[in-house]
Structure 1
Amino acid sequence: MQNHLLAALPEKITERLFPHLELILMPLGDVIYESGGLLQHFYFPTTSIVSLHYLMENGASAEIAGVGNEGVLGVSLFMGGDSTPSLATVQTAGYSYRLKKRILMEEFNRTGGRRCGVLHNLMLRYTQALMTQISQTAVCNRHHSIEQQLCRWLLLTLDRLPSHDLTMTQELIAGMLGVRREGITEAAGKLQRNGLISYRRGHITVLDRAGLEANTCECYAVVKQEFRRLLHEAKKL
């Protein structure tokens, strides 16, 4: 029940799905699926966070969205496709529930009765929230400063974790945001001097969350509000 989507499902659906859920370890850096590869499972993260990247022909990439305990990996399966152009890698190590594609699709495609509509509507609402995150990330990367982007990224990551500590190198964050490492070093240094974060190699501790929220752009609030609306509407299903 640590995954918010699974927790939002009614009891009749969970009784059918939960026996098929497999709790798996998601090590840092693991590739969950390759760009263009066939998807065989859905993943419902609990304590792990997965980063979705778009991979360019020259090997460069940037994060287009993150998925943690608020969501699911594999939306292209119930949207009509068996593959996706994005690359999914584990950004924060932890656990996730894995579910075979066939099991969820059988439930998703059930006809008649309210039990069909609940899962169908919940997954489509999540997809809309995910699309909002992807769109807002694109706008943020184009129009906002590296410091604002870093604040947004830190806050969205914190929302998916139980603590204020992040295991993450500046090089990895730079790869997520698609910027030079020097830009992240400068932005992180400024946040540290202002007392908002504490940074030592491979480890970031957020000291002043309110300060981060004051320094970020509107993109964080837009994404957070959309996921909050998703969960609020899910309770009505």
Structure 2
Amino acid sequence: MTDLDKNRQYRNQLLRRMPADDLALLVPHMQRCDLLLRQILVSPNIPIEAVYFIERGIGSVVASTTSGHEAEVGFIGFEGMTGSSLVMGDDRAVHACYVQLEGEAIRIEAGPFNAALAASATLRMFLLRFVNALQTQASCTALVNARLKLEERLARWLLMCDDRVPGETLSITHEFLAIMLGVRRPGVTVALQLLEGRALIRSRRGEIVIRDRAGLEELANGSYGEAEAEYVRLIGEIDAD
């Protein structure tokens, strides 16, 4: 029986693929918890209290300027974990991470998590592969934010959401989308109308329904897929069963 077979009780892809001996170091310290909308998982520039292996829902890593401008730079669902600075030997992060779509997670306090990392080089090496994948995603986000049109960026963002949320309906407001994409709310409204006019989505108050995923991938103009392929190379194919 493979480690993946043994770890079927978890939806989180890292916990599913983690070597059994390393998972055993974490299990005694695991706490299942709900993720509430806008809940702060990591506060910037203060010690990280806990890591969250997301089972359902989405956490956003959000960068901000001293003048108050915000934009999403990282996107974490059931394929990953928050607090990856701990894996790299630091005790804090520069950017905030908070819940974008509510769900649930497995929480491990920083102390025992760090102890497990110190006890197992294989655990740290495995999680560093996820850190690498997350950094690839962030670099792709920087590129598309600098070079692509808003509707193309929105298409990529919706595809990333669709990868992590069961079903075709996303509960998200225009205001929150504006923060995630680093633009003003009217721009988001226009971009959503454009996608809806092409029959790619249906947009209602606080809700977006994806109607044509293939069409979204075409509209994304090559911005979607590279980070996803890198995750598969480093961690493995997504298996949510």
Percent of counterpart pairs with the same letter? 34
Aligned to 2:100: 91
Unaligned runs of at least 5 residues, structure 1? 111-115
> 1: CA distance between counterparts of 2:39 and 2:236?
32
Moved more, 41-50 or 9-18: 9-18
> 2: CA distance between counterparts of 1:92 and 1:56?
23
Aligned to 2:174: 170
Pairwise CA distance, 1:117:
4.0
> 2: CA distance between counterparts of 1:39 and 1:27?
18
Aligned to 1:35: 44
| TM-score normalised by length of structure 2 | 0.91
Aligned to 1:73: 82
CA contact (8 A) 1:9 1:118 kept: no
Partner deviation per Cα, 1:44-95 (whole Å, 9 max, x = no partner): 0111210011111011110001111011111111212111110111100000
Pairwise CA distance, 1:233:
9.2
- Say whether 1:200 aligns with 2:171: no
What count of residue pairs does the alignment treat as equivalent? 229
Moved over 4 A (4+): none
- Say whether 1:223 aligns with 2:232: no
> 1: CA distance between counterparts of 2:215 and 2:121?
41
RMSD, matched Cα: 1.5
Alignment of 1:98-117 (within 5 A): 98-110=107-119, 116-117=120-121
CA contact (8 A) 1:49 1:66 kept: yes
Pairwise CA distance, 1:101:
1.4
> 2: CA distance between counterparts of 1:59 and 1:174?
14
> 1: CA distance between counterparts of 2:36 and 2:182?
22
Alignment of 1:8-87 (within 5 A): 8-87=17-96
Q: Which secondary structure state, in structure 2, belongs to the residue aligned with residue 168 of structure 1?
A: coil
Q: 1:188 aligns with which of 177, 185, 192?
A: 192
